[in-house]
Amino acid sequence: MDVGRWFKKRTYSHLDYANLRQLVEKKNDQGVVISVCLPTLNSGKTLGLILRVLKEILVDEYPLIDELAIVDSHSTDNTVDIAEKLGVSVFYDDRYLKHLPKASGKGEALWKSLYFLKGDIICWIDSDIKNIHPRFAYGPIGVLLNEKKVGYVKGFYSRPIKQGGVIRESGGGRVTEIMARPFLNLFYPELAGVIQPLSGEYAGRREVLESVPFFTGYGVETGLLIDILNKFGLDAIAQVNLEKRIHANQTTKALGRMSFGIMQAAFQRLEEDGKIVLKTDLNRTMQIIKRKEDEYYMMRKTIREIERPPMNTIKDYHEKWKAKT
Ligand SMILES: Nc1nc2c(ncn2[C@@H]2O[C@H](COP(=O)(O)OP(=O)(O)O)[C@@H](O)[C@H]2O)c(=O)[nH]1
Ligand SMILES: [Mg+2]
């Protein structure tokens, strides 16, 4: 499908799904179980309000969410406390599938969550959102409940940024604009209409998510888009307008480290897709340039994106799901 046609056909708005009673009826008619899971790493500042809002509106008042959970990588702040006090399920990614080689990162947490979550539809939401609203969950879920052919839905929004103490309405999403979007246009022009390819709010059907690989770090979103495109086609991907998202903007240096991971995923995927030939191994250690007064120095940081195989190729996963059905 041509990207222009896709853009018109598969771009939705959260406003279309704001009738929550109707949405819950749809879910019940279809007999699907819905999990919402937030990856957390020292998210104590924002997590409480996010969980309270989702729980009050989408668990208690309109029971759209059947399972509300966090997947934590051993936060050292009060993240886990907050979730437990609200009766939200807490999972630690490193407690599952322990016989596999170790890995860590956001993508690893999401991948493992496929193993322990029970939903037929899974929606992931970043845990550092400062302007939380139930639309972050019911937007992507709404598309899946209404569009049978769609298997994966990305949230998009404007991204304000705080610069010099002043909030600008747009300008956030620096890695998106400077790296991810040019990359997708270069190699995967079909995905050029995805407004926020790196957004952390998205939902998918289990049968889609379990059948594609996951990169273990910040490369996870890029990998998922490309792999779902390759396996299911553009028409199975949709995007939903969630208006605006505010989160803690990272430093440019931190974004550089994030890009180092995303680029690993990108190059690895390009090679596996037969689009390029890499003649050397990728170096996984980044030299971070630091400055103290007039002195510059380097610090090494290893950032390794590992590619996890599709969850449905993992034996334990099969056994767990066979037992369920
Ligand atoms: N469980 C888990 N969550 C993570 C990890 N790294 C990041 N996250 C979460 O993933 C979300 C997105 O990460 P963030 O650093 O804000 O990335 P950005 O929004 O793309 O700048 C946040 O909610 C983080 O708490 C990790 O190693 N494990
Ligand atoms: Mg963030």
Select from 36, 37, 38, 41 the residue to mutate for testing ligand 1; criterion: most ligand atoms less than 8 Å from CB: 41
Determine the distance from the C-alpha atom of residue 128 to the mean position of all C-alpha atoms in its chain, rounded to a whole number: 12
Q: Alpha-carbon distance 32 to 85, whole Å?
A: 27
* Residue 312 CB coordination number (10 Å): 15
Six token digits for residue 261: 């991971």
Residues linked to residue 131 through DSSP beta bridges, in sequence order: none
Three-state DSSP state, 243: strand
Give one DSSP letter per residue of 183-207, joined into a string. Answer: HHHHH-GGGTT-S-TT-S-EEEEHH
Residue nearest to atom 7 of ligand 1 (CA): 106
Residue 67, both tokens? 């399972």
If phi > 0 it is left, if psi is from -120 to 50 it is alpha, else beta; for residue 121 that is beta
Query: Buried (b) or exposed (e) across 137-154, using 16+ Cβ within 10 A?
Result: bbbbbbbbbebeebbbbb
pLDDT of residue 162: 80
Gap between the Cα atoms of 69 and 109, Å rounded:
12
- pLDDT tens-digit profile of 92-129? 999 999 999 999 999 999 999 999 999 999 999 999 99
Global model pTM greater than 0.85: yes
Q: What are 203's strand-pairing partners?
A: 123, 153
Taking 70 as the pLDDT cut, the residues of the chain under it are 324-325
pLDDT at 165: 81
- Ligand number nearest to the C-alpha of 198: 1
CA of 315 to the centre of ligand 1 (A): 28
Q: Which ligand is nearest to the CA of 43?
A: 1
Supply the pLDDT for residue 153.
99
216 by DSSP, 3-state: which?
coil
187-222 residue pLDDT tens: 999 999 999 999 999 999 999 999 999 999 999 999
Q: Which atom of ligand 1 is the closest one to the Cα of 198?
A: 20
Domain 3-324 matching CATH 3.40.630.30: the answer reads no
* DSSP class of 57: I
CB-CB contact of 129 with 136 (8 Å): yes
Cα(126) to centroid of ligand 2, in Å? Answer: 7
Residues with CB under 6 A from ligand 1: 39-41, 43, 71-73, 104-106, 109, 126-128, 198, 200, 247, 250
